[in-house]
Structure 1
Amino acid sequence: MKEYLAKRLLYSFVTLFAVATILFLMFRIMPGDPTAQVISPALDEAARARMREAFGLDLPMWKQYLIYLKNLVTLEWGRSFTTSEKVFDILVYRLWNTLLLMSAGMVLTFALGITLGMVMAWRRNGALDFGGTLVALVFQSAPPFITGLLLLMALSYKLDLFPTGGMSSPGVRFDTFWGFVFSGDFLHHLVLPTITITAYFLATPMLIMRDSMLEILGSDFIEYAKAKGLSPARVMVRHAARNALLAVVTVSSILLGFAIGGQVIVESVFSWPGMGLLMVEAAASHDYPVAQGAFLMLAALVVFLNILADLSYAWLDPRIKVGRGA
Structure 2
Amino acid sequence: MGQQAVIRELFIRYAAGKSSVEERAALLAYLQGDPFPEAIPPVEELYVNDRIAPITVAESEAIFQFIVQQPVAAREIPMRPYRWWLRIAAVLLPLVAVSVLLYHYLRAPAMIRYSNTGTEVRVISLADGTRIHLNRHSAIRLAKNYLQQVRCEVWLEGEAFFDIARDANRRFTVHADVLEVSNLGTAFNINTNGGNPVVILNSGAVKVAAMQVSTVRILRPGEAAYFDAGSRALRVQRTDTLYHTAWKYNLLPFRAARLEEVLETIRQHYHIDTIIFKEEGIRGQQFTGYLTSNNLKQALVTLEQVFNLKITQENNQIVVNNKKS
Output the TM-score relative to the length of structure 1. 0.18
Choose 1 or 2 for highest CA Rg.
2
Structure number with higher helix proportion: 1
Structure number with higher strand proportion: 2
